[in-house]
Amino acid sequence: MTRARRVTANLPGDLLKDAMDVTGKGITETLVEGLRLVRRARAYEKAQALRGKIRLTIDLDESRERRR
């Protein structure tokens, strides 16, 4: 993991409480989990943007090194 950064943020109390209830974790752990979900969502959006743009022809038996 990279070096941690200390930040000050004004967060809606009810939103933070609800998120902490969902995760069952403290403030820092809940925020880290939320940031990871944001990063994952962006990666998913990038992958979805490629949908239909890449043509693959794969022989599954050959790729699995199966005998015919």
Q: Between the CA of residue 4 and those of 22, 28, 47, what are the distances in Å?
A: 24, 11, 28
pTM listed for this prediction: 0.69
Asked if 23 and 33 count as a contact pair (C-beta separation under 8 A), the reply is: yes
Output the pLDDT for position 45: 94
Output the pLDDT for position 68: 56
Q: How far apart are CA 67 and CA 27, in angstroms?
A: 54
Output the pLDDT for position 66: 67
Q: Is the pLDDT of residue 25 over 90?
A: yes
Asked if 19 and 30 count as a contact pair (C-beta separation under 8 A), the reply is: yes
Output the pLDDT for position 10: 97
Q: What are the structural domain ranges in the chain?
A: 13-63
Q: How far apart are CA 22 and CA 25, in angstroms?
A: 8
Output the pLDDT for position 2: 81
How many of the other CB atoms lie within 10 Å of CB of 40?
A: 10
- pLDDT bin (cut points 50, 70, 90) of residue 23 is very high
